[in-house]
Amino acid sequence: MEHTSRLERIIRIVLVALILIFFLFPIFWIFLMSFQTNEDILRIPPSPFFTPTISNYQALITGKLVSAAGTLDIPFMRNLWNSVLLSSVSVVIALILGVPAAYAFARFKFRLGEDIAFTLLSFRFAPPLLVLLPLSLYFQEIGLTDTYAGLIWVYQLIALPLILWIVRGYFEDISPDIEYAYRIGGHSWWRTFTRIAVPLAGPGIAAAGLLAFIFCWNNFVFALILASADKQPVTVGSLAFVTASGIQYGQIAAAIVLSVTPTLAIALYAQRYLVEGLSLGAVKG
């Protein structure tokens, strides 16, 4: 990279700028929208100049939408909380189940090992709807309909294969020598796993967890079909601003902004793990 000419540097800067505009402009625009009244949003042509209002956020956070037609309740914060709860518990469970399994596939060659690994990954192949249709019937029978537990179980379909796949690759690229040395020192297998293997794979686990979290967060159809209104995530909750007396565009925008915030916060916090963690062979040295 040292031999870059001036022209190339300029091209690079322009390209990065274009990329940032393409990916960030929509978010920026929605962000602006979230501070506008419906009247401002519906102006023709659209304009970036307006008097900002926090009324949209106020309505979402207090759960009261005051309009000419009266006061409406909007359970958006409840939706947000559901998303946090469903996604984080699902990811934690997926990690508890997935990390030991990933370790087993990476460290041991055992009969049917590859088959089990492939079976687990193949749950990702099943179209969500295929499973969902009969599942809603069975859930009814075993009483899992409309429970967080049932939803979290189904969310494993999203989280578990992703975690298995990424963490397994990470384990495989860590040399087993360190673990071996520790074992020779007289430590139990379990101690080796928790004290050496897992910490070494930390960035990989963190990155896989974050990606799984994002995919759980973005899910739409599972909760819609399997749970009642008080357990719906933000993805469903954000549609609630379409009412017969008009669409609350400003609140839709504010809802989108709020729904992105928690994941963004986690991503910013975990950013140093993210790239490193996904690089699988990074520590191979």
Partner 1 sequence: MSQKAKDFFEQYKAGKISRRDLMLGAGKLGISAATANFMLNAASTQALAADFDWKKFKGAKLHLLLNKHPYADAMIADLDNFKALTGMEATYDIFPEDVYFDKVTAALSSKSSQYDAFMTGAYMTWTYGPAGWVDDLGAYIKDPAKTNPKYAWDDVLPGLRASTAWNGVPGGALGSADAKQWCIPWAYELNSIAYNRKMYDKAGVQPPMNMPDLVEKAAKLTKDLGGPYGIGVRGSRSWATIHPGFLSGYANYGQKDLTVGADGKLKAAMNTAGSKAYHKLFIEMVQNSGPKNWSTYTWYQVGTDLGAGASATIYDADVLGYFMDGGDNKEKGNLGFHAFAPNPEAKAPTPNIWIWSLAMNSFGTQKDAAWYFMQWASSTEHDLFGATKTDFVNPVRASVANDEAFKTRLNKSYAGYVDQLAASSPGAKIYFTPQPLFFDVTTLWAETLQKMVAKEVPVDEGLDQLAATIDKQLKDAGLG
Partner 2 sequence: MTAETIQAPRRRRKTKLLPYLLSLPALLVCVGILIPFVTAVYYSMLRFRLNLPAMKGFIWFDNYINFLSDSEFWNTVRVSLLYTGLTVGVELVFGLAIAMLLQKQTRFNNLASILLLLPLMTAPALAALMWKLMTNPNFGVLSYLVQLAGVSDFKWASAPSTALFTVVLVDVWVYTPFIMILLLAGLRSLPRQPFEAAALDGVPRRFVFFRITLPMLAPYMITATLFRLLDSIQQFDIIYSMTQGGPGNTLLVFQVRSYLEFYQYTNVAKSAALLVILWAITYALSNIFIKQWLKLRERARGSA
Q: Does 70 bind partner 2 (CB under 8 A)?
A: no
Q: In the structure encoding, which two tokens stand for residue 42, read together?
A: 């519906």
Near partner 1 in 72-91, by CB under 8 A: 72
β-bridge pairing 64-67 and 70-73 = antiparallel
How many residues can be counted in the chain?
285
Q: Which of residues 211-270 bind partner 2 (CB under 8 A)?
A: 211, 214, 217-221, 234-235, 238-239, 249, 252-253, 255-256, 259-260, 263-264, 267-268
Q: Which member of 11, 16, 20, 242 binds partner 1 (CB under 8 A)?
A: 242
107-136 positions binding partner 1, by CB under 8 A: 136
Could you say which of 88, 89, 124, 147 contacts partner 2 (CB under 8 A)? 124
Bridge partner residues of 246 (DSSP): 243
Tell how far CA 111 is from the center of its chain: 34
Distance from C-alpha of 163 to C-alpha of 102, rounded to nearest angstrom = 8
The entry of partner 2, partner 1, none near residue 146 (CB within 5 to 8 angstroms by kind) is partner 1
Report the candidate in 200, 237, 210 with the shortest Cα–Cα distance to residue 94: 210
Using CB under 8 A as the binding rule, the residues of this chain from 145 to 174 that contact partner 1 are 145-146
For residue 67, the surrounding DSSP H or E stretch is strand 64-67
**Which of 113, 143, 202, 246 is in the footprint of partner 2 by CB under 8 A?**
113
CB of 71 to partner 2, least distance (A): 25
Under 8 Å between Cβ of 53 and 36 = yes
Contact stretch for partner 2 (CB under 8 A) within 16-24, 51-59, 70-78, 84-92? 16-24
Asked if 30 interacts with partner 2 (CB under 8 A), we say yes
Minimal distance in Å, beta carbon 36 to partner 1? 13
Q: How far apart are CA 116 and CA 105, in angstroms?
A: 9
Beta carbon nearer to partner 1, 86 or 205: 86
Q: What share of the chain is helix, strand, coil (3-state, %, to 5)?
A: 75, 5, 25
CB of 83 vs partner 1, minimal distance in Å: 16
Q: Are 102 and 197 in contact (CB under 8 A)?
A: no
End-to-end CA distance of the chain: 22
The residue ranges that bind partner 1 (CB under 8 A) are 38-39, 42, 44, 67-72, 136-137, 139-140, 145-146, 224-226, 228-230, 232, 236, 239-247
